[in-house]
Amino acid sequence: MVKPLVPHPFRALCATLMVSGAALLGTAQTAEAEELTVYSAMAKGHFAELMEAFQALEPDLQINQLIDSNGPIMARLLAEQENPRADIIFGASVPGLVMLEERGMLEQYAPAGLDQIKDRFRDNRSDPPHWVGTDAWASAICFNEAEGERLGVEAPTSWEDLLRPEYAGMITMPNPNSSATGLLAIVGWAEIFGEEGAWDYMDALHENVTQYVHSGSKPCRMAASGEAVIGISYPAPGVKAINDGVPLSVIIPAEGVGSEVEGVAIIAGARNPDAARRLADFATSFEAHQIHNSYYALVGREGVTNDVPNYPAGEEEALVDVDFYWVAENRDRILEEWQERYGRKDEPR
Amino acid sequence: MVTTVSAIEPPQRKIRISTSGEDLLLRLCLIALAAFLVVALLLPIYTLLSKGVQDVDGNFVGLQNFIAYFNEPRVSVVFFNSLRISVVSTAITLLLAGTYAFALTHSRMPGRGFFRAVALVPLLTPSLLPGIALIYLFGNQGFFRDFMFGYSLYGPIGIVIGEVFFTFPIALMIVLTSLLTIDRRLYEVAKTLRAGRLRSFFTVTLPAMKFGLSAAFFATFTKVFTDFGVPIVVGGSYPVLATDLYQKVIGGFDFQMGAVVGILLFIPAAIAFLIGHLLQRGRGAGIDGSAVIYIPEKSRGRDLACFIFCTAIAVAILGILLMAVLGSMFRLWPYNLSLSLASYNFSEHDSSGWGAYRNSLKLAGGTALFGTALIFFGAYLLERMPGARLLRAMIGFIAMVPLAMPGMVLGLSYIFFFNDPANPLGGIYGTMMILILSTVVHLYTVPHLTALTALKQIDPGIEAAGASLKVSRFSTFGRVILPVCLPTILRIASYLFMNSMTTISALVFLYSANSKVATISVLLMNDNAMLGPAAAMSVLIVATSAGVVSLQWLLMRGLLGRTQAWRGSER
């Protein structure tokens, strides 16, 4: 009789190991269906609505999505530079896209309907463009009316107001190292007060800030939940909170505000370039712009100007010009300086 | 004489070392296990260490990155913040857990079983949960914010409370074990010698707890020092090493500095681990076969005091958990506290919706299945295989390394190692598989030790008996070892499942677009100040872990009756 080399109980164990190994490999293997991997730093609701509409157009496409703040999304793209995993970035701040472009990480592509896109919403240095903007927003201040009343403080109307001593410990701001909104606020101040003046302003503001937080919408949401009274943020999360019934107001400061364009760009060497181009076409389409416009007053396409309920008035008039290329070039320097000055805040006030 | 020399020789050396197919196969398995640990643990660590001494372009720069890091003015602040937080949290945890353990073993208060079970609840929670619950309780809008007397929760206070909650059961388990091994006869002797109650506490109880307390100290300290979940939620602007590492890598794209912080995070944990290891060695036989378990006498005052203390702790633990449950159900915190399940509609709050929860189940299931098979069979090879002593000793040492390895450091080293385009295994980067692999490695040590302990209890004669009956070793493994160890295997699987549900540290750097898990979703929702949905997902994680533990408990009861009858009636 020939004795089997491996008797059955052991075979069972081997089988378990192999089956679980195969199951693991199975999850690793790409499915048969066409895939598209999208990275985004958009506001979640906005992005979800866009993806739902796109999926309706492309029912067979398997879409993998990764959403985080701008900093983490850029960190990931850079970490994966040698071996890109994303096919397309849909919703990242333009200075970040410019930085990627300068590292040769973006593909040039002219999406359908490019001629309908306003000039300041596209890459003007090259044709076809490396990136196309979809929407823009400005910095804004979110102020919790109920908390303000309880604590006996009035709503600020200008950036200068935020320095008033009565706001000590009431203000939150996004950390520019992770959040494009944080960087946007700083760039706006640099335009308004000059760079030196902006640092002086932030030195004074630092005295009133209680926390620097990870994401750009968090300060506004913290104001909305009363964890803070004032959040330096952008309008969209505040508008949503107001529509949900929170006693909040969104204020466009009198001195003016820096603005930020977010856009779409295809990764050079994308694994699924065709699907990526189709998504870029969709991003610039009229249909997608209706969605952009339900979150942001300023969008890329000409002639899409619906009113967003409770959106603060006068945003467009308050905009100050921001030079994306200057921001992309000076980003590292500004962040380092910021970290040096304010990153040391170790005791919350 | 010659006989004294041969008496030292371990008996198994005398067993023939033949090159039969069976032995060859066993040896191949052992080599495969060693290869696994090298690829999944040692090589990534090596890559991380070498990144720490390279510049952006990969040139060797020696300790320059460390010097640059230490020249940042905030560094010593961050490092000492971590140290301070760890020392304070550990001291408080030990005091509370020590007292609690004493009350459980040295009093006759009612509800001891209940108190013991409640104390283990934090093991079921992700470390993000206590922070979230604390915001509802003591945040600027918290129900009990007046108890903060104007101090802010965000910062050291919040971190310490969260960490004490999170590490309490770990410390308690260790101290409890050391208290349970006290021989009752020691107290009887003390009494005969007319020692008062206080004196016998200081001469019997405390010395017996010494080992447990110091082991608990190191375990708790390491846990707090490397934890990321609590400070990321309630740390405010109080930076600690773990959050600094996250900020460096995720916020600032700075992988070189990330490697430096990672190594710094590793050092104190490694020291604590080594000391803990030495302590374990130096410990004599704790309890001999004739020891008698201590049964405390009745004492009204003591029992009442113990009962009040334990009730307070249990209320705190359950309060934190219940607050998270309640928080997940508020319609609009803090302005509309009517209850709804809107927060559980995850697709409204997070891009991956319920998908993140399903991914967590896949991760936990995969880790439990693959991890249990690997770890148990690995332990079997190490413990019961003849020969290859050097290789076995080496594997045994490597298997201890994950205990000292902070999850974030492991995750970071995996990015460096697996996302290198030259790595033939790079295909697993960004998939569920790398999450499972990192989690198995991250959790390796504890189940490995559990399996070794169980295998050690089986008479070595079993294999000899098998050999003399001319049954193969594998047959013995399948027919005797596996059934005998079934409860252990179940315990390992449930440990792996539960910990994969709640872990976040290694995954923070490794998840991808289609492998985002529930804890990451909690983190991202919290980053966006979506407190309700973050609480809801945490509650879901706790419920799942609790379900698995209950299932394990039920199975154990059934199995113990059927397969463990041979152990005799004391079970």
With an 8 Å Cβ cutoff, are B529 and A217 in contact? yes
Give tens-digit pLDDT for A31-54: 468 999 999 999 878 898 999 999
DSSP output for B164-191: HHHHHHHHHHHHHHHHHT-BHHHHHHHH
For the cut 80, the answer to whether the pLDDT of residue B230 exceeds it is yes
Query: Which of B23, B71, B81, B140 to substitute to test the interface with A, most A CBs within 10 Å?
Result: B140
| Residue among A17, A68, A348 minimizing CB distance to B154 | A348
CB contacts, 8 Å: B152 with chain A: 210, 348-349
Instruction: Find the residue in B nearest to A220 (Cα).
Output: B529
Cα distance between residue B251 and residue A233, in whole Å: 18
- Which chain B residues in 128-157 lie under 8 Å from chain A, judged by CB atoms? 135, 139-141, 152, 154-155
B101, B231, B87, B85: which is closest to B170 by C-alpha? B101
Domain definitions of chain A by residue range: 35-136+260-312, 138-259+329-342
- Contact of B482 with chain A, judged by CB distance below 8 Å, is answered with yes
Mean pLDDT value across chain B: 87
Q: Would the CB atoms of A245 and B516 count as touching at under 8 Å?
A: no
pLDDT at B544: 97
Q: Is the pLDDT of residue B81 over 60?
A: yes
| Nearest C-alpha neighbor of B48 from the set B349, B517, B413, B457 | B413
Distance, in Å, from the CA atom of B539 to the CA atom of B325, rounded to the nearest integer, reads: 6
- Inspect the interface and report whether the beta carbons of A65 and B255 lie closer than 8 Å: no
Q: Which residue intervals of chain A are DSSP H helices?
A: 8-28, 44-57, 70-79, 94-102, 145-151, 180-206, 218-224, 235-243, 273-284, 286-295, 315-318, 324-342
**Superfamily assignment of A138-259+329-342 in CATH?**
Periplasmic binding protein-like II (3.40.190.10)
Helix (H) or strand (E) holding A64: strand A62-67
- Determine the number of helices (DSSP H) and then strands (DSSP E) in chain B: 27, 2
| Chain A, nearest residue to B412 by Cα | A79
Q: A279-336 pLDDT, tens per residue?
A: 999 999 999 999 999 888 889 998 888 888 888 888 888 888 888 889 888 988 998 8
The torsion defined by the Cα of A37, A43, A47 and A49, in degrees rounded to 10, comes to: 160
- Residue whose structure tokens are 């170790």: A346
Smallest CA–CA distance from A70 into chain B, residue: B251
The helix (run of H) or strand (run of E) holding residue A211 is: strand A209-213
Q: pLDDT grade, residue B563 (50/70/90)? A: low
B478/A86 touch (CB, cutoff 8 Å), yes or no: no
pLDDT digits (tens, 9 = 90+) for B473-492: 888 899 889 988 998 999 99
Which CATH superfamily does the domain covering A35-136+260-312 fall into?
A: Periplasmic binding protein-like II (3.40.190.10)
DSSP secondary structure, B461-513, as one string: HHHHHHHHTT--HHHHIIIIIHHHTHHHHHHHHHHHHHHHHH--TTGGGT--T
Task: Round to whole Å and give the CA distance between A230 and A142.
Answer: 6
The backbone torsions φ and ψ at residue B310, rounded to the nearest 5 degrees and listed phi first, read -65, -35
pLDDT in tens, B147-168: 888 888 999 999 999 999 999 9
Q: Which of chain B's residues have a Cβ under 8 Å away from the Cβ of A175?
A: 247, 251
Q: What percent of chain B has pLDDT over 70?
A: 92
The per-residue pLDDT for range B312-334, each reduced to its tens digit, is 999 999 999 999 999 999 998 88
pLDDT in tens, B123-142: 999 999 999 999 999 998 99
B505 touches B435 (CB < 8 A):
no
* Residue A5: per-residue pLDDT: 44
The whole-angstrom separation of Cα B458 and Cα A239 is 67
Report the chain A residue with the minimal C-alpha distance to residue B142: A227
Question: What pLDDT sits at residue B372?
Answer: 97
ipTM (interface pTM):
0.77
Please name the member of B21, B362, B415 whose beta carbon is closest to the beta carbon of A5. Answer: B21
Q: Residue A63 corresponds to which tokens in the numbers above?
A: 């879409």
DSSP-assigned letters across all residues of A241-291: HHHTT--EEEE--TT-EEEEEEEEEEETT-S-HHHHHHHHHHHHSHHHHHH
The confidence band for B289, taking pLDDT boundaries of 50, 70 and 90, is low
Among residues 156-215 of chain B, which lie with CB inside 8 Å of chain A? Answer: none
Q: Could you tell me the pLDDT band of residue A195, with boundaries at 50, 70 and 90?
A: very high
Q: Do A3 and B513 touch (CB under 8 A)?
A: no
Give the mean model confidence (pLDDT) for residues B80-89. Answer: 94
Q: Give the whole-angstrom CA distance, residue A115 versus residue A57.
A: 23
Q: pLDDT category, B73, cuts 50, 70, 90?
A: low
Q: Where do the domains of chain B lie, and which CATH numbers do they carry? A: 72-285+292-327 (1.10.3720.10)
Residue A263 pLDDT grade (very low, low, confident, very high; cuts 50, 70, 90): very high
A138-259+329-342 shares the fold of A35-136+260-312: yes
pLDDT of residue A304: 85
Highest mean pLDDT among B30-39, B405-414, B464-473: B30-39
Give the gap in angstroms from C-alpha A349 to the nearest C-alpha of chain B. 7
pLDDT, residue B17, reads 46
Render pLDDT for A75-124 as a digit per residue (tens, 0 to 9): 888 878 888 889 999 999 998 999 899 999 999 999 998 999 998 899 99
CB contact under 8 A, A24 and B25: no
- When CB atoms are compared, the residue of A20, A80, A246 closest to B373 is A20
pLDDT, one tens digit per residue, over B248-265 is 787 666 777 888 888 888
Give the whole-angstrom CA distance, residue B169 versus residue B218.
14
Q: Which residue of A has its CA nearest to B140?
A: A227
Instruction: Report the alpha-carbon distance of residue B411 to residue B438 in Å, rounded.
Output: 7
Q: Which pLDDT belongs to residue A68?
A: 83
- Identify which of B25, B335, B349 has the shortest CB distance to residue A44: B349
pLDDT category at B228 given cuts 50, 70, 90 is very high
Q: Does B349 touch chain A (CB under 8 A)?
A: yes
For the stretch B402-443, pLDDT in tens is 988 889 999 989 988 998 878 888 888 889 999 999 999 999
Residues of chain B contacting residue A243, judged by C-beta atoms under 8 Å apart = none
Backbone angles phi, psi at B343, to 5 degrees: -65, -20
- Range list of β-strands (E), B318-382: 330-332, 336-339
The 10 Å Cβ neighbour count of residue A329 is 14
pLDDT in tens, B361-407: 999 999 999 999 999 999 999 998 877 889 999 999 899 889 888 89
